[in-house]
Amino acid sequence: MLIEVMLVLLLVSITCCSLLTGYKACVLAMQQYNRLELAFELLEVRNVEAADALAAEQGLFIERKEFIDNLQIKQEIITVRECRNQKVLVNKVRYALSE
């Protein structure tokens, strides 16, 4: 009888651990999705200071580079990175005629 009770408790604990691990994986996936969605939204913000402040609050960094080629076409490269590991979340290139 004692062995049967211990077996049932073992199965219950294994099931609980599996459910907890699955829940934790879902939470991490949703957090990553939310960071990626925020990164895409930050690319579209025209107010640079506001975008930088919001990114810093979320542990992100926005890097901007501008190049003008000999045809007077301006390229603006915007990269959103994570601060802690410098992982690139999103890159975007905007083109415009230089004035």
Q: What integer pLDDT is reported at residue 65 of this predicted model?
A: 92
Task: List phi, psi (to 5°) of 71.
Answer: -95, 10
Is domain 2-97 annotated with CATH 3.40.50? no
60-68 and 73-82 beta bridge pairing: antiparallel
Q: Which tokens in the block code for residue 95?
A: 């083109």
Contact present, 65 and 41 (Cβ < 8 Å): no
Instruction: Give the whole-angstrom CA distance, residue 50 versus residue 69.
Output: 29
Q: Which residues of the chain have pLDDT under 70?
A: none
- Long-range pairs for 57-61: beta carbons < 8 A, 24 or more residues apart: 59/83, 59/84, 60/35, 60/89
**Could you tell me the residue ranges of all domains in the chain?**
2-97
What is this structure's pTM?
0.66
